[in-house]
């Protein structure tokens, strides 16, 4: 019996016997006594909540191995008590609701039956501790080579995904198989699924429209190819060339990712719309007739390329940096031309990065909501169609669920194809061996190709952002260019009152709430994401593939569906958290975790396990190994997931639109409201402020985490006799 | 392994702290509190909130969303309602909620002061929702674009079918927007179902884009992205007040209208405050706030001064809009799928 196991057993008891089992009603003002003992499950149990008392049985069972240390089947006891405890908690939680029995079958025991509120701190702690006890039991029985940390981590991640992804999503997907009054009707599903507006192929043979599924797929593939190519060009320029404005290029490529939704779309309209700035120039100088080409596939494609290239870049730069020059030098020594080396050595080594970048680009495009909303015109995609199936004039949740299932199928298909392409090959290039090579300069044509894609794109990005900045400081972009600070004053006015500063601007509330939620969810996302990546790459356990799939699921489901499903699932006991900021944080953590997982996997699969082993062999404890070897090598992944989750929490729209409340209003819902009201100036001004906050946050994250330093010499550095620089 | 444990423990600690800090923040207190879902423009929502707080001392927690979003949320929350009152937004989702019993019956003492159309809305919904403002459907055109394209001055629905307006008309998709559904129902009520669909098919040739949001064509018209936009007239008026080169037109054949509504949520936690707000929101003093917040709908209380910029309903030829028929979910579903099959999928 380790001290850790004992500690968790104590925590089970604390959660059950000391802390308040139920959450407090919002109107109640709990006393200290409510927080300790008298609100606990034991107290409730003896005061009439008899259904809580059976939980004492598994709690008692946890004590058996404590009392009798000589017992041989300690693991089995722990396992059994954990399983039974969790089962009892779940069973009573789901069968007794706010208004009595929740299932009709139970009503034979009398109506309406006992009532109970949502779970509180005590229940949460007891359940968590029981879960860990269960995992310790598994470890004691020899799972994962008896490593309790690994089993607990797997258990915790699985439980979190079950509660915050599978549970809500299954509640809404069930409605795909129900008719309008909620009865089970599989025929409804088939008729909705086979609808012509989804699968029609008329655009191939005539000038009619194709089904929304094909549109989405086509757009997703184009975006995925485009972002991967652009991301690769940027990554190659940033790491392998002597390009003078590298730093600038890097900052610029990251700009779109920190841009709130709608803004890129609006800027594109103001540039290329029929009355846009550039269209006007083209008309006046060259007589190019103005048209509406931007509304539809071209517009969405450009906006999504602008928005998602940085994700590909962030994934690929870590991978390109990590490629060992040794292999390239070996290839050169064997007299391969630089082009051959690039094509047959460098590029294949980048496969994990390319595949992950492609997958992310594809999935992001599928899930994107803001850009299609503004720019898609008559080109319909699934994400907006789902949103309007829920909130539009149709109000058809079943249809939304059917469309979500199709969207989900596409994402999972992409995931499966990525796996098939990567196969079982090895991509390890960061090893402890002498990496004395010099990174190969890019072959001429690759360098040229990179410059020719990246630089025009960068200029284009600058133009779009110039429009955004100008838009924030003029009265009405596109019509009236009188300079003004009016928008900033409306949003961010601060007045001096007698008692201090008074934030009277209309945006301050949502601004503070957004920053708070983003700052809390970012580290959680990164931690859970990287832990999952570590489990997936460094450990072998049964069900690993489905585990990986589960982590990807929440990313694949459109935000609207997640939003509605969170309300359906978490508005009633046992888990009653709607209206709190907590639900927003959880929503963000599980929506953004996949990026942490993907970038963690991409980076970890490059790092040779023998590095960990070498450190261990040299006498370092595993804590030291983790701190001095693995985590520093993971820095790009840490930065990527921290940045991404912070930024996403500040810019997501569709999922949070249903979860915001008066206290926790988010910046994006405020901006959406402004855009709807036609106040582009204010929307853009607020977005500019958000961009600045996010830039500061990114710089801070970079400074705190630091850069990974690999022992690679640059061509200009003086050759050093030391083969490998020590990893910091 | 120790570090990993510390790491895991730190993560869990952070998680718990998050939970604690948020849960203890708590929401509105039950006494003297009101949770309001508001579906009009942010400024108007705020003005209503602060004015009501000042008047009664009741603390209002207001969340602004579109009407459809509020409907979806109220429905999802029906087991354990979070909101007390749903104020504003086009009438259809309110009617839908009333039909499904998501909202509460209430007869306000102020009913006698209301316009007939507001009372009719209340009667048709079996006392579950009441009209607070109304706005007529119409269209607006960009005067600069109209001059450049030599279109003249469209005055009637029929004028929108002119060949010169090919790809120059913008309107929302009725599947996603209540505004566009109002157009669909209006045209059918003016011309009859068969003729009405003939008209919509002809209009389809001139439509450059079916937008998602109902008010989007107003912005597009103001920016010159389209020459004509079909929206509620007050949305166009907002653009005119903002000095855009837009002219608002009340179609000569007559036109339909929306009734912005208010409902009390069934099972509201603060029922007394909700009723207090309901009564107050129907007074002339409360309804004056709309125009002050640059929203130019026509208020439902007879004594409210009508804003000078607002399109006067007396000048507009209003049809006798059958909200009961065209607001029912069966009829809506039928018309929408007919429109989808017969109009939207037509080649240009």
> In degrees rounded to 5, what are phi and psi of residue A425?
-70, 165
What does the mean pLDDT of chain A come to?
Answer: 80
Task: Determine the residue of chain B that is closest to A527 in CA distance.
Answer: B11
Q: Which of A649, A638, A668 is nearest to A588 (CA)?
A: A649
Task: Determine the residue of chain B that is closest to A581 in CA distance.
Answer: B22
Residues of B in Cβ contact (< 8 Å) with A661: 27, 61, 63, 82
Residues of B in Cβ contact (< 8 Å) with A582: 18-19, 22-23
Q: Does the CB of B79 have a partner CB in chain A at under 8 Å?
A: yes
Report d(CA B202, CA B196) in Å as an integer: 10
Q: What is the mean pLDDT of residues A231-245?
A: 81
The listed range with the strongest mean pLDDT (A55-59, A545-549, A702-706, B73-77) is A55-59
The pLDDT of residue B94 is 92
**Contact at 8 Å (CB) between A565 and A494?**
no
Confidence of residue B142 (pLDDT cuts 50, 70, 90): very high
- Cα A727 → chain centroid: 30
CA of A67, closest CA in chain B: separation in Å?
A: 25
CA of B196, closest CA in chain A: separation in Å?
A: 20
Question: Does residue A180 belong to any structural domain of this protein?
Answer: no
Confidence of residue A286 (pLDDT cuts 50, 70, 90): confident
The pLDDT of residue A715 is 43
Question: Does residue A647 belong to any structural domain of this protein?
Answer: yes
| Domain that includes residue A36, residue range | 3-103+112-141
Question: Does residue A459 belong to any structural domain of this protein?
Answer: no
Which is it for strands B59-64 and B33-38: parallel, antiparallel or unpaired?
A: parallel
Q: Which domains does chain B have, with CATH numbers?
A: 33-134+258-309 (3.40.190.10), 136-256+329-344 (3.40.190.10)
Q: What is the mean pLDDT of residues B119-125?
A: 89
Question: Does residue A176 belong to any structural domain of this protein?
Answer: no
- Give the contacts of A674 (CB within 8 A, at least 6 positions apart): A680, A682, A683, A686, B42
Give me the number of domains chain A comprises: 2
Question: Does residue A498 belong to any structural domain of this protein?
Answer: no
Question: Does residue A597 belong to any structural domain of this protein?
Answer: yes
- Give the contacts of A124 (CB within 8 A, at least 6 positions apart): A15, B19
The pLDDT of residue A340 is 83
Residue with more model confidence, B220 or A115: B220
Residues of A in Cβ contact (< 8 Å) with B26: 26
The overall pTM is greater than 0.80: no
* Cross-chain Cβ contact B329/A274 below 8 Å: no
Confidence of residue A47 (pLDDT cuts 50, 70, 90): confident
Residue with more model confidence, B37 or A288: B37
Chain A interface mutation, best of B76, B83, B94, B177, highest count of A Cβ atoms under 10 Å: B76
Confidence of residue B24 (pLDDT cuts 50, 70, 90): very low
The pLDDT of residue A150 is 80
Report d(CA B198, CA A436) in Å as an integer: 77
Residue A208 is nearest to which of B76, B181, B347, comparing CB atoms? B347
Residue A27, exposed/middle/buried by CB under 10 A (0-12, 13-18, 19+)? middle
Report d(CA B327, CA A529) in Å as an integer: 47
Residue with more model confidence, A257 or B296: B296
Residue A661 is nearest to which of B1, B61, B238, comparing CB atoms? B61
**Contact at 8 Å (CB) between B266 and B101?**
yes
**Contact at 8 Å (CB) between A563 and A403?**
no
CATH number of the domain residue A539 falls in: 1.10.3720.10
Which is it for strands B228-232 and B59-64: parallel, antiparallel or unpaired?
A: unpaired
- Digit-coded pLDDT (tens) for A644-659: 888 888 888 777 877 8
The pLDDT of residue A41 is 83
Q: Which of A125, A75, A115, A69 is nearest to A92 (CA)?
A: A115
Task: Determine the residue of chain B that is closest to A378 in CA distance.
Answer: B209
Residues of A in Cβ contact (< 8 Å) with B52: none
- Digit-coded pLDDT (tens) for B274-324: 999 999 999 999 999 988 888 888 888 988 888 787 777 777 888 888 888
* Cross-chain Cβ contact A506/B329 below 8 Å: no
Q: Does the CB of B181 have a partner CB in chain A at under 8 Å?
A: yes
Residue with more model confidence, A213 or A244: A213
Question: Does residue A369 belong to any structural domain of this protein?
Answer: no
What are the tokens at B299?
């208020």
Task: Determine the residue of chain B that is closest to A561 in CA distance.
Answer: B72
Residue with more model confidence, A53 or A107: A53
List B138's β-bridge partners, or say none: B231
Question: Does residue A29 belong to any structural domain of this protein?
Answer: yes
- Outline where A559-580 has alpha helix (H): 559-570
List B260's β-bridge partners, or say none: B133
Other CB atoms within a 10 A radius of the CB of residue A578 amount to: 23
> Which CA distances in Å does A443 have to A152, A276, A403, A676, A718?
48, 40, 46, 50, 23
Residues of B in Cβ contact (< 8 Å) with A673: 41-42, 64
- Digit-coded pLDDT (tens) for A614-637: 887 887 766 677 778 888 888 888
Q: Which of A113-117, A181-185, B270-274 has the lowest mean pLDDT?
A: A181-185
Residue A658 is nearest to which of B41, B73, B208, comparing CB atoms? B73
């Amino acid at each position: 019996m380790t001290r850790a196991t004992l500690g968790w057993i104590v925590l089970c008891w604390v959660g059950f016997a000391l802390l308040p089992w139920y959450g407090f009603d919002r109107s109640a003002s709990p006393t200290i006594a409510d927080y300790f003992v008298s609100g606990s499950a034991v107290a409730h149990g003896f005061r009439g909540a008899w259904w809580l008392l059976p939980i004492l049985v598994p709690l008692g069972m946890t004590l058996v191995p404590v009392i009798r240390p000589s017992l041989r089947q300690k693991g089995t006891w722990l396992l059994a008590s954990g399983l039974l405890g969790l089962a009892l908690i779940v069973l009573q939680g789901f069968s007794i609701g706010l208004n009595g029995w929740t299932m009709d079958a139970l009503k034979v025991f009398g109506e309406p039956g006992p009532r109970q509120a949502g779970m509180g701190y005590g229940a949460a702690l007891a359940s968590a501790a029981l879960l860990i006890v269960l995992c310790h039991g598994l470890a004691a029985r020899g799972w994962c080579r008896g490593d309790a940390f690994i089993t607990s981590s797997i258990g915790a991640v699985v439980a979190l995904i079950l509660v915050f992804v599978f549970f809500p999503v299954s509640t809404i997907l069930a409605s795909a198989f129900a008719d309008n009054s909620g009865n089970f009707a599989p025929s409804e599903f088939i008729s909705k699924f086979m609808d012509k507006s989804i699968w029609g192929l008329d655009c191939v043979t005539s000038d009619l429209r194709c089904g929304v599924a094909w549109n989405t797929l086509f757009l997703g593939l184009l975006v995925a190819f485009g972002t991967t190519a652009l991301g690769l060009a940027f990554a190659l320029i940033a790491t392998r060339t002597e390009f003078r404005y590298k730093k600038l290029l890097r900052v610029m490529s990251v700009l779109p990712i920190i841009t709130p939704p709608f803004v890129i779309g609006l800027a594109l309209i103001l540039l290329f719309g029929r009355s846009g700035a550039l269209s006007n120039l083209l008309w006046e100088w060259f007589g190019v007739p103005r048209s509406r080409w931007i509304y539809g596939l071209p517009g969405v494609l450009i906006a999504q390329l602008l928005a998602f290239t940085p994700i590909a870049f962030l994934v690929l730069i870590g991978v390109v940096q990590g490629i060992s020059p040794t292999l390239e030098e070996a290839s050169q020594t064997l007299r391969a031309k630089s082009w051959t080396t690039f094509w047959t050595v460098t590029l294949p080594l980048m496969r994990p990065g390319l595949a992950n970048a492609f997958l992310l680009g594809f999935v992001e495009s599928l899930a994107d909501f803001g850009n299609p909303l503004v720019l898609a015109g008559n080109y319909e995609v699934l994400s907006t169609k789902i949103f309007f199936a829920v909130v539009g004039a149709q109000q058809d949740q079943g249809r939304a669920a059917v469309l979500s299932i199709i969207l989900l199928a596409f994402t999972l298909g992409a995931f499966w194809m990525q796996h098939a392409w990567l196969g079982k090959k090895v991509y390890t290039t960061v090893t402890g061996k002498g990496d004395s090579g010099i990174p190969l300069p890019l072959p001429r044509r690759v360098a040229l190709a990179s410059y020719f894609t990246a630089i025009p794109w960068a200029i284009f990005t600058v133009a779009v952002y110039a429009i955004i900045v100008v838009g924030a400081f003029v009265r009405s972009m596109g019509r009236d260019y009188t300079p003004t600070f009016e928008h900033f004053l409306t949003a961010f006015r601060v007045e001096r009152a007698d008692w201090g500063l008074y934030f009277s601007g209309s945006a301050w509330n949502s601004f503070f709430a957004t920053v708070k939620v983003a700052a809390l969810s970012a580290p959680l996302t990164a931690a859970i994401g990287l832990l999952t990546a570590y489990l997936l790459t460094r450990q072998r356990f049964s069900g690993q593939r489905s585990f990986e799939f589960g982590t990807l699921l929440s990313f694949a489901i459109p935000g609207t569906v997640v939003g509605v499903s969170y309300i359906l699932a978490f508005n009633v006991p046992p888990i009653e958290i709607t209206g709190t900021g907590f639900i927003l944080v959880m929503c963000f953590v599980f929506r953004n975790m996949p990026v942490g997982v993907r970038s963690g996997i991409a980076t970890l699969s490059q790092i040779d396990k023998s590095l960990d082993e070498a450190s261990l062999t040299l006498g370092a404890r595993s804590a030291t190994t983790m701190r001095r070897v693995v985590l520093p090598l993971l820095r790009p992944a840490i930065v990527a997931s921290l940045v991404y989750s912070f930024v996403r929490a500040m810019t997501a729209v569709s999922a949070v639109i249903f979860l915001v409340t008066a206290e926790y209003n988010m910046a994006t819902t405020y901006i959406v409201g402004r855009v709807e009201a036609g106040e582009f100036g204010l929307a853009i001004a607020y977005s500019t402020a958000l961009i600045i906050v996010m830039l500061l946050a990114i710089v801070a994250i970079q400074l705190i985490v630091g850069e990974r330093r690999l022992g690679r010499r640059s061509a200009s550095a003086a050759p050093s006799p030391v083969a490998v620089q020590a990893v910091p | 392994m120790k570090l990993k444990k510390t790491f895991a423990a730190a993560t869990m600690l952070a998680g718990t702290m998050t939970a604690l800090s948020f849960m203890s923040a708590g929401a509105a207190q039950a006494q003297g509190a009101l949770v309001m879902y508001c579906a009009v423009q942010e400024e108007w929502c705020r003005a209503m909130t602060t004015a009501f707080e000042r008047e009664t001392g009741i603390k209002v927690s207001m969340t602004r969303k579109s009407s459809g979003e509020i409907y979806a949320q109220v429905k999802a929350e029906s087991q354990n309602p979070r909101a007390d009152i749903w104020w504003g937004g086009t009438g259809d989702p309110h009617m839908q909620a009333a039909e499904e019993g998501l909202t509460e019956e209430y007869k306000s003492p102020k009913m006698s002061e209301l316009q007939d159309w507001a009372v009719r809305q209340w009667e048709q919904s079996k006392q579950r929702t009441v009209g607070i403002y109304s706005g007529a459907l119409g269209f607006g055109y960009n005067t600069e674009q109209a001059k450049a394209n030599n279109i003249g001055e469209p005055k009637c629905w029929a004028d929108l079918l002119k060949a010169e307006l090919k790809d120059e008309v913008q309107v929302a998709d009725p599947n996603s927007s209540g505004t566009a559904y109002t157009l669909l129902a209006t045209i059918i009520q003016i011309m009859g179902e068969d003729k009405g669909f003939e008209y919509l098919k002809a209009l389809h040739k001139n439509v450059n884009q079916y937008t998602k949001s109902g008010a989007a064509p107003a912005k597009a018209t103001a920016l010159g992205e389209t020459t004509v936009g079909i929206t509620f007239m007050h949305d166009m008026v907002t653009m005119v007040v903002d000095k855009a080169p837009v002219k608002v037109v009340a179609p000569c054949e007559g036109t339909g209208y929306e009734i912005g509504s208010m409902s009390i949520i069934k099972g509201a936690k603060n029922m007394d405050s909700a009723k207090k707000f309901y009564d107050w929101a129907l007074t002339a003093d409360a309804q004056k706030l709309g125009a002050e917040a640059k929203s130019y709908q026509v208020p439902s209380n007879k004594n409210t001064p009508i804003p000078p910029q607002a399109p006067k309903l007396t000048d507009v030829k209003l049809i006798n809009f059958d909200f009961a028929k065209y607001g029912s979910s069966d009829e809506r579903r039928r018309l929408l799928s007919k429109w989808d099959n017969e109009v939207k999928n037509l080649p240009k």
